[in-house]
């Protein structure tokens, strides 16, 4: 999702009334939390507690208004099983790409060392239009990890203009129609 320092209805009304694009948001969110990159929410980062050796179904939703986003979890492979409520052939990837309003269901296998790992939601732009690069982070914490003293492991992120990565994702996800 996104966060504005304004009433969201006023942001929409201003865009509709003027014909201009909506005001840019000041933050992206994961489950409503802007994450630890913002001073106002450093202690309010979304955390997902998991147990090693389990498989979790995550429904990742791009609730942003205008931008596609990459989603990545450090050191984990995600298995795409559905997009927009349509089952897909299983596709293993380390990064997913979501258009505004799109949902992607992925399986997260907790097969890494007991530790804490960042999950990151960051903009993908297919053009060089200047907008805010608003990245947000949540944390996956394995049961038994010391999450109070150690910084979570950060994934290597694609560049915000990494069209080959986006193209690879979109062209490798296929429906189950036979």
The residue segments making up the domain with residue 133 are 28-172
Read off the CATH number of the domain in which 156 is found.
2.60.40.420
Supply the pLDDT for residue 131.
63
In this model, does residue 109 exceed pLDDT 90?
yes
CA distance 86 to 123: 24
Tens-place pLDDT, residues 49-102: 999 999 999 999 998 877 899 999 999 999 999 999 999 999 999 999 999 999
CA distance 115 to 163: 31
Q: Which two tokens stand for residue 122?
A: 């960051």
Domain count, the chain: 1
Does this model's pTM top 0.85?
yes
Task: Give CA separation, 26 vs 38, 86, 171, in Å.
Answer: 10, 32, 31
Tens-place pLDDT, residues 17-50: 998 877 777 777 788 777 787 776 667 788 999 9
* Residue 165, C-beta contacts closer than 8 angstroms, at least 6 positions apart: 70, 95, 97, 158
119 in a domain, yes or no? yes
107 in a domain, yes or no? yes
Supply the pLDDT for residue 8.
79
23 in a domain, yes or no? no
């Amino acid at each position: 999702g996104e966060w504005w320092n304004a009433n969201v209805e006023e942001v929409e009304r201003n865009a509709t009334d003027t014909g201009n694009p909506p005001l840019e948001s000041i933050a992206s969110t994961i489950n409503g939390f802007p994450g630890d990159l913002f001073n106002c929410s450093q202690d309010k980062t979304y955390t997902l507690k998991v147990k090693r050796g389990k498989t979790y179904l995550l429904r990742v939703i791009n609730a942003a208004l205008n931008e596609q986003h990459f989603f990545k979890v450090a050191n984990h492979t995600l298995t795409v099983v559905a997009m927009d409520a349509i089952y897909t052939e299983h596709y293993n990837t380390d990064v997913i790409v979501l258009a505004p309003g799109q949902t992607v269901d992925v399986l997260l296998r907790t097969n890494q060392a007991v530790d804490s790992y960042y999950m990151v939601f960051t903009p993908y732009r297919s053009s060089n239009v200047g907008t805010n690069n608003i990245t947000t982070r949540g944390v996956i914490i394995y049961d038994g990890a010391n999450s109070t003293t150690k910084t979570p492991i950060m994934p290597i992120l694609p560049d915000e203009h990494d069209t080959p990565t986006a193209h690879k994702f979109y062209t490798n996800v296929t429906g189950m129609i036979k």
